[in-house]
Chains A and B, each alone.
Chain A
């Protein structure tokens, strides 16, 4: 029971204080890829903790509600508690909640990836028909005055550039833009984004998941900017950002992500000032913390669940063989 409460507390702390701390932290701008991993790890840890809380509640209820001797030998599930006892209700609630959450998360993950693939395929069909391949640049050009560049990820990945963008950018800026888009594809940012979207789809607009989604979208841009800067120089990347931003028609939506301006503005300022990448020690520390946050719920819940399973779950093995001390299943 204590473990259940600890797991729920873990989820609650990550959802509130953890989310706020990671959003306010300064280091993600210096290590955007590590920060993407941290956001994904935190989201996964929250979901896992709640699911495991349900399972540990069931385990605890099954054990404490078991009458002496009831768990002995071949048993049917639910082996121990009286169905209508308080413990029986708790056991059933925990199990149903855990299974429902796990099923919903899995279902939405699959649904979101399939929806993304379907939309990409529609987009690629349209591109085949209205776009033209530019073999020299390795991109698909679409005739449109709006300056825009984007990538369609996946197996048939493509980079799309409008004729408006080709007109607005000089050669150096264009190669910076292409390096940015290629980095998106190479680093497979769409997988992280689709995963983060699936959690919002599964559990509604809860702050930890919506924050993760928008932060990952922003961090993916930073990571791609860094890759482009390595190739073309950070000032050229900043310049290409400004050029494309100027060419966007007025009235286009401009979501404000970063404090004091648009996300694009924040990216440009970061490129102009320059960033010092996070050192190897701190990167390793970040990875370790992420891994710890991710595995903590499993480590806490594992012993509780396996003990209960060993006590009561096995119908082929006599339970007393596996019974841990304290399990009320020892025959009198």
Chain B
């Protein structure tokens, strides 16, 4: 039994590679899992993804058709932007290993680092 998050990820994978809106039945077929997960499981997880805002949907006849609310790149960009924005970062707060330095400051520190490395290498 795969973990819940893995099935979510697999369904998003299917959605991102689909070229049009698809039904839950299509998703289940395209998951390519042997044995295929139960229809109800796929339905539940797809609806969770919809509620979390990852998927959009529209009713066609009796069934909903789903498509991704944003591209994978959109989400990745958003994720990285959030992580780099320390002002509103509550989740990790210490996330940024980094911030941009002025070229002058950067050059000065580079020089200091090179000097220190040279001093380290010099035999004592």
- B85 partner residues in chain A, CB cutoff 8 A: 253
If A197-B90, A268-B109, A269-B112 touch, does A241 touch B54 (CB 8 Å cutoff)?
no
Q: What residues of B have a CB within 8 angstroms of the CB of A262 in the complex?
A: 99-102, 105
- The answer to whether B94 and A184 have CB atoms under 8 Å apart is yes
Given contacts A126-B79, A143-B76, A189-B93, 7 further A-B contacts (CB under 8 A): A120-B91, A127-B79, A144-B79, A148-B98, A150-B83, A150-B96, A181-B97
Q: Are B80 and A162 in contact (CB under 8 A)?
A: yes
List which A243-273 residues lie within 8 A (CB) of chain B.
244-255, 261-265, 268-269, 272-273
> For the complex, is A116 an interface residue (Cβ under 8 Å from B)?
yes
Which of B5-13, B17-25, B36-44 is the interface stretch?
B5-13
Chain B binding surface, main DSSP class: helix
Q: Is B63's CB within 8 Å of the partner chain A?
A: no
With A and B bound together, what is the CA distance between A114 and B69 in angstroms?
A: 27
A122 to B75, CA, bound (A): 12
The size of the chain A interface, using a CB distance under 8 A, is 65
Q: Does A190 contact B (CB under 8 A)?
A: yes
Q: Once the chains bind, are B97 and A177 in contact (CB under 8 Å)? A: yes
Q: Which of A93-142 contact B (CB under 8 A)?
A: 112, 115-116, 119-120, 122-123, 125-130, 142
Contact partner, B5, options A122, A125, A162, A261, Cβ 8 Å: A125
Cβ of B1 within 8 Å of any chain A Cβ, yes or no, is: no
B79-119 CB contacts (< 8 Å) to partner A: 79-80, 82-87, 90-102, 105-106, 109-110, 112-113, 116-117
Which 5 A-B pairs give the minimum distances between C-beta atoms? A150-B95, A119-B91, A244-B98, A128-B5, A193-B93
B99 contacts A123, C-beta separation under 8 Å:
no
A184 to B113, CA, bound (A): 24
Using an 8 Å CB-CB cutoff, how does the interface string of A74-86 with B read, 1 for contact, 0 for none? 0000000000000
Does B34 interact with chain A (Cβ within 8 Å)? Answer: no
CB distance from B72 to the nearest CB of A (A): 6
Tell me which residues across on chain B come within 8 A of A190, comparing CB atoms.
92-94
Contact B106 A242 (CB under 8 A): yes
Beyond A126-B79, A129-B9, A252-B99, whether A120 also contacts B92 by CB under 8 A is yes
B72's partner among A130, A151, A246, A261 (CB-CB below 8 A) is A130
Distance between A124 CB and nearest chain B CB, rounded to angstroms: 8
Give the residue among B80, B106, B120 with the most A Cβ atoms within 10 A.
B80
